[in-house]
Amino acid sequence: MAALNELSIEEAAAKLASREISSVELTDACLDRIDATDGEVGSFLEVTRDLAKAQAAEADKRLASGNEVTTLTGIPIGLKDLFITNGVRTTCSSKILENFVPRFDATVTAKLKRAGAVMIGKVNMDEFAMGSSCENAALGNTRNPWNPAYVAGGSSGGSATAVAARQCLGTIGTDTGGSIRLPASYCGVLGMKPTYGRVSRYGMIAFASSLDQAGPFATTARGAAAILEAIAGHDALDSTSIDAEVPPLVPSGSIDLGGLKIGVVPELLSVGLDADVESAVDGALATLTELGANKSEVSLPTSEYAVATYYIVTSAEASSNLGRYDGVRYGVRVGEEGGLREMYGKTRDAGFGTEVKRRIMLGSYALSAGYYDAYYLKAMKVRTLMRRDFDKAFEQVDAIVIPTSPGTAFEVGSRTDDPLKMYLSDVMTIPANLAGLPAASIPCGFDSAGMPIGLQIITKPLAEAKLFEIAAAYQDATDWHRKAPELKAA
């Protein structure tokens, strides 16, 4: 019998509902696993042990009474440390917010509480969600549980690692250009980015506001779907929130993919795929066709401009969003004895890491007089063309299936001195963000070094239910998602 912390969300929910196990027992199993393994992988910035135990006890009362019970009631969940959490330190893994304790909850945090989930802790990330490896984390780096000499992926590296290491049953991350899907691929779990606006951004500390979107991590499609059902929906506190009903998202029963049209993108298959990635993705496509799907080619001609477009747009928005961290209202304050201007400069120099400073400077340049039209405005026009490319593609197919990344996880430190090479890690994931589409990475194999490979599924706007059906059908036919890394217990 699997240890309690190794259960999927749907398996644990069934056992909790039948009272075969308690939330307190399940939460204790996860806390024990964190104690035994987090020294090796560094998933958590803060373990909310007392809060988790109290919430687990309350969940058991709800389960016993049968009142207000959801699939997530009693399930231990980790939160990426950019979701505002009342009374719990929220840092964005940055020195500038190292001691920031908010006085309210983000909408995502509040919805998880209402669903009865147990918040087991705040998980690590690249500083202000800027990075592809979780090496830009000012408060401690996260390592890949399959091999700690390799990166976990970013920016939601802690979210992916916590699920892969079976430290909790699910987590919430954010995805601006691949920050859920890339670490999910590198760590061998399922990570899903919903349609932009499907989940409220209220209380989610911003990187690039027109792209940031929260989404779930889990071992299974059904577990991830249950999390998304709990956190999705319109929120009047977020002007970008979509006012659309959230349909049932959790696939049930046997899934028939007969007649499903899936598209592959030649432009994204010619960017230097590793041979192992190409082989695993070909195998996954073969499995989907065996399940009844029909495969054809579709074109996304503007995808070659995706990386350049993304880094102009996000850097510009970051330079604006991060202007609020000035040492005046909250966070670190340095150099106030020298006057206001000196305090601004010294505070931001001491509080922000190298990558954050780089992107602020790039964004400020792109928005400056004489360059706005040449860079930011042109990037926004390309973004519109990219959305039109996807619209045309989805006239022919129901879903697009491509690799999540050209390669697998790379060694710690191997790309920190080459920002461009690091940025190209996201070449497969960025297009879906620029178009605002739902997309997920699911495990589909391993490379010759034993590192996981991810398969990316992209669907039409608000077609999350279809995406989860495809992912669940694939998982029902394979067992990649059941494999877990072996970690040394402390």
Q: Quick one: 446 exposed, middle or buried, by C-beta within 10 A (0-12, 13-18, 19+)?
A: middle
Instruction: Please tell me which residue in 23, 43, 80, 93 is annotated as part of the active site.
Output: 80
Contacting residues for 429 by C-beta, under 8 A, at least 6 apart = 175, 177, 178, 181, 182, 404, 405, 439, 456
Residue 434's closest CA among 383, 388, 376, 382?
A: 383
| Catalytic annotation present for 156 | no
**Which listed residue (132, 155, 315, 441) is catalytic?**
155
235's CB contacts (< 8 A; 6+ apart) are: 107, 200, 202, 241
**Catalytic position from the list 22, 132, 156, 179:** 179
**Who's near 218: CB < 8 A, 6+ residues apart?**
8, 9, 163, 169, 170, 189, 190, 224, 226, 227
Phi first, then psi: give them for residue 77, nearest 5 degrees. Answer: -130, 140
Verify whether residue 179 is a known catalytic residue: yes
Instruction: Let me know if 159 is a catalytic residue.
Output: no
CA–CA separation, 193 and 173 (whole Å) = 9
**Of the candidates 379, 462, 455, which has an alpha carbon nearest to the alpha carbon of residue 198?**
462
| Sequence-ordered strand ranges (E) for 25-157 | 44-47, 76-80, 118-123
Backbone φ and ψ of 358, nearest 5°: -60, -45
φ/ψ of residue 484, rounded to 5: -130, 150
Helix segments in 305-377, DSSP class H:
306-321, 340-351, 354-367
Sheet holding 452-459, edge to edge: 44-47, 118-123, 76-80, 170-175, 213-218, 190-193, 439-446, 452-459, 399-403, 261-264, 294-297
CA distance 47 to 38: 10
At residue 446, φ and ψ (nearest 5 deg) are -135, 150
- Residues serving a catalytic function are 80, 155, 179
